[in-house]
Structure 1
Amino acid sequence: MKRILLGTLLALPFAISSFPSQASAAQIIAKPNVHKVAVVRKPVVRYQRKLIPAHWETVRRGNNWVRIRVPARYVNVRV
């Protein structure tokens, strides 16, 4: 007997909440795209390979652009 009484007491709030109310009879209008999320894209950094045929060398009288004895190399440069 106690089990039946306890089961009805536990089920009673669910049974009462399932009855239709005046608020549930009202028309519900849903607007899905009210607030659109702004997508901010990061700028794409592009690199281009550039051939450097020589380099600056520090000498007694200042800096000197030296092409001799230096192998050419490629450097990534932002475009």
Structure 2
Amino acid sequence: AKLQGHEGRVTTASFSADGQRILTASWDNTARVVSIYAWNVESLEQLLARGCRWLHNYLIYAPNLSDSDRQLCRKK
């Protein structure tokens, strides 16, 4: 989805703790809060699972990761 409302480049985007909103900050010195319900998006859990599938080989083979970093996407 396209972020609306900023006049400059978006430099930061973060999910709220409950995963229901995204906070964005821009070079135009503005911040916006967007409900994820405004978009047709995956749940935070689905998004994290997709990210872990994408990172799978990196987490196995990257030479400079700590053991704890390698465990980020392991199911408990």
- TM norm. shorter chain > 0.5: no
TM norm structure 2 = 0.17
**Structure with max Cα Rg:** 1
- Structure 1 or 2: more strand by fraction: 1
TM norm structure 1 = 0.17
Structure with more contact order per residue of length (Cα contacts < 8 Å, sep ≥ 6): 1
- Structure 1 or 2: more helix by fraction: 2
